Amino acid sequence: MDREDLVATLETLEQRLLWLSSWTIHNANHIREKRDGLKVGGHQASCASMTAIMAALYFHALGPNDKVAVKPHAGPVLQAIHYLLGNQSLERLERFRALGGAQSYPSRTKDAIPVDFSTGSVGLGVAITAFSSLVQDYLIAHGQLAEADAGRMIALMGDAELDEGNIYECLIEGYKHDLRNCWWVVDYNRQSLDATTADRMFRRFDDIFETCGWRVVTLKHGKLQRAAFARPGGQALEAWIDTCPNAEFAVLTYQGGAAWRERLTADIGDQPHVAALLADYDDDALAQMMTNLGGHCIETLIDAFDAATGDQPTLFIAYTVKGHGLPLAGHKDNHSGMMSPTQMDVFRERQGIAAGEEWAKWGALGDNAAQRLEAFVATSPIARQLAEPMAPAVPVPAIPVPAGAEQSTQAAFGRVMLDLAKSGEPLADRLVTTAPDVTQTTNLGAFVNQRGLFRRQELADVFMNARIPSAQKWVQHAAGQHIELGIAENNFFLALTALGLAAPHFGTRLLPVGTVYDPFVARGLDALNYGCYSDARFLLIGTPSGITLAAEGGAHQSVNTPLIGMGQPGLTTYEPAFADEVALMMGHAFDLMQREGGSSVYLRLSTRVIAQETRETDDWQADALAGGYWLRRPGEGTGAAVVFSGVVAPEAIAAWEQLADDIPGLGLLAVTSPDLLHRGWSAARAARWQHGAPQQSHVERLLAPLARDAGFVTVIDGSPAALSWLGGVRGHRVSPLGTDRFGQTGDLPDLYRTYRLDTDAIIDAAAELFL
């Protein structure tokens, strides 16, 4: 196909995408029955500013291994593309934003169409592409992906997403890691929900990205504008457009050709040849030329995409008009606005689509034109992309328990990682570790000493070469298995997400392990949620945790992270107390991360060294993985128990020993996962209502030996709400202990006494309940 035919074909496709995305949103809001009276929503104007960009990208520029994160508010355009490709059904389009239909925003886990990256409106879908590119480089360096099979990781983004801080955190990290094969295409329509982009940002984005090593390609003017600029008077017109304030440009766009003429005549009409130039355009043609920006011009777009060769990261700033081609174009309220039924009728007639033929893929085209367009789409690069590969599972070896009569859970984790690094097991070669500048203080250092840091260009440890003693011997090389990150937790969680999607994205399974100070899980919570929503698989280690991190003070002590672990879908949370629990749960995690229907795993650990339990058998293990087990079994029908989770085990055990003589049959319950216990209880209750068949959850079985009028004390170094709900399972009385306010600096005895986590507090609570 020659260039002229290619441009004409893509222009036709662009109009099909504009129509189908607009109609999909209109159908959901104005035609489909509403049962709740609420606005369904959608973003017709945000779709309209992207249709040319997506037509040129998807049906011309994309290579077979490229992956795209689509601007969230342009989700209906992506749905329309896959409708034309045959990957999306009419039924799902008709149910846009309804249960079982096309999702509001592109979703890997909820949409039926192929979606490379889930996206929402907070810039995370942009930044993830940079980390996915880093993962691709990692796999190439480790011989698990051929260089020839490398693709570009592409983000289509709204310009308002450039306000998101994680964009710039990502830029810095990408620069440090010599980012490549990454394209970001900005729909620079200069309008967001509340405001118009500040005029002073015109050149700032170029400066910021160029400083970080990016190639910046600005697509400001389309072919119609460039043709006008080449005529007498055109230079004055070009200068006027380039200095027109964003808000003024939007107002004139909405007002149309007559307003453009009046304003241009007033501002530059007295300059040579300008009046004659304007006179050659009628009002409609003048409005078309003035809004013919680079992001709406197929020729401009394909030239820019074709010219961007090599692997340098590239930012395309594509100037657009929000709502281009719709009656909403330029209006300041168009972000959430949509066409009225009357406006839609006019739009439909202008598109040449007959009433009743709105969903026709090739509506308004003759048979021959429709056949040619259908054939073009069927042979386009996106149509030839392969389905995501199924990566084989990596066998999980038995994980020995670290030796030692007294240990902390954090140290046990570090020892397990070191043993795996030395083991020669296939699993060890698939481990990738990372941390936000806390590698040493979270016990990953020994693993890194063994396996090295990843860097495409080798970098020696200068301190080691200078014979300066250090516990860390960190050589950076292509075979390294630790990705060093700066302190930004958003980057940390996005890196884990990209690593955790290596299996579906690249066909090679990686088992990422990331460590972070537990209180700072909250710093990257949005990105953690994004990773779980994308069904990325990783092992998250939050350590040290709680006010047990005594001397660090309240800013470094985590209170609510057990509740975060309980409330986060796609994440299974454990809080082990002993080293053998750590080993058991890590082995389980590496298996769960690979299972169909599995999840990521979060272990909340501590630096507190405690005495280890002597086990007679392994009978406790299955219950521990299910969420809890009896460390000291209760007598049948007993009226009391002490329930603990994690690092407060010594206090709970000591309290049990003191109370056992006074309360015969007293039980001691170790809750290893409030998350799993609560999830299982909820599922059992739902089964009663959904299937009519009662099921007994693990927590119900655990509590069954207790008398109906029994009570128990719960204790956790975290929010007491993580365990206090246990009283609702069978109606037992509960006295919950935990931390529900910010801590302070101190030593452990003082803090445990002050915040009522010590043995005396447990005994006092038991006395209140039982005596």
Buried residues in 45-65 as b, exposed as e (16+ CB within 10 A): bbbbbbbbbbbbbbbbbbeeb
pLDDT at residue 333, as a whole number? 86
User: Residue 416 has which token pair?
Assistant: 């397990």
Q: Rounded mean pLDDT of 613-623? A: 95
Position 302 pLDDT exceeds 90: yes
Q: Scanning the structure block, which residue is given the tokens 């149910």? A: 95
Q: Rounded mean pLDDT of 581-599? A: 97
Positive or negative, the CA dihedral 450, 453, 459, 462 is: negative
Q: Higher model confidence: residue 741 or residue 467?
A: 741
Q: What is the DSSP string of 668-714?
A: EEEES-HHHHHHHHHHHHHHHHHHS-----HHHHHHTTEEEEEEEEE
Average pLDDT, the chain: 93
> Which residues are 670's β-sheet partners?
629, 644
State pLDDT tens for residues 516-558. Answer: 999 999 999 999 999 999 999 999 999 999 999 888 888 889 9
Q: What is the DSSP letter of 221?
A: B
Confidence tier at 283 by pLDDT (50, 70, 90): very high
Position 472 pLDDT exceeds 90: no
Q: What are phi and psi of 512, to 5 degrees?
A: -75, 140
pLDDT at residue 201, as a whole number? 67
Confidence tier at 193 by pLDDT (50, 70, 90): low
Rounded Cα distance, 383 and 378, in Å: 6
Q: What is the DSSP string of 222-255?
A: -HHHHHHHTSTTHHHHHHHHHHS-HHHHHHHHHH
Q: Scanning the structure block, which residue is given the tokens 């409609």? A: 284
pLDDT at residue 537, as a whole number? 98
Nearest to 84 by CA among 389, 380, 364, 299: 380
> Do β-strands 406-407 and 610-611 pair in parallel, antiparallel, or remain unpaired?
antiparallel
Position 199 pLDDT exceeds 70: no
Position 200 pLDDT exceeds 80: no
State pLDDT tens for residues 319-361. Answer: 999 999 999 998 888 888 899 999 999 999 999 999 999 999 9
Nearest to 714 by CA among 637, 648, 619: 648
Q: Higher model confidence: residue 384 or residue 561?
A: 561
Position 504 pLDDT exceeds 70: yes
State pLDDT tens for residues 626-650. Answer: 999 999 999 999 999 999 999 999 9
Q: What are phi and psi of 767, to 5 degrees?
A: -60, -40
Q: Rounded mean pLDDT of 245-256? A: 92
Q: Rounded mean pLDDT of 54-81? A: 96
Mean pLDDT comparison of 37-46, 384-393, 458-467, highest-scoring range: 37-46
Give the three-state DSSP class for 188. strand
> What is the torsion angle, in degrees rounded to the nearest 10, for the CA atoms of residue 417, residue 421, residue 425 and residue 426?
90
Q: Rounded mean pLDDT of 577-605? A: 98
Q: In the chain, what percentage of residues exceed pLDDT 70? A: 98
pLDDT at residue 194, as a whole number? 65
Rounded Cα distance, 277 and 269, in Å: 10
pLDDT at residue 197, as a whole number? 67
Q: Higher model confidence: residue 628 or residue 38?
A: 628
Q: Rounded mean pLDDT of 209-232? A: 96
State pLDDT tens for residues 83-131. Answer: 999 999 999 999 999 999 999 999 999 999 999 999 986 789 999 999 9
Confidence tier at 688 by pLDDT (50, 70, 90): confident
Amino acid present at 650: P
Confidence tier at 224 by pLDDT (50, 70, 90): very high
Half-sphere exposure for 476 (CA within 13 Å, toward CB): 13
> Do β-strands 215-219 and 314-319 pair in parallel, antiparallel, or remain unpaired?
parallel
> Which residues 6+ apart lie within 8 Å of 281 measured at CB?
257, 289
Q: Rounded mean pLDDT of 199-217? A: 85
Half-sphere exposure for 17 (CA within 13 Å, toward CB): 33
- Torsion region of 713: left, alpha or beta (phi above 0 gives left; psi -120 to 50 gives alpha): beta
pLDDT at residue 269, as a whole number? 94
Confidence tier at 470 by pLDDT (50, 70, 90): confident
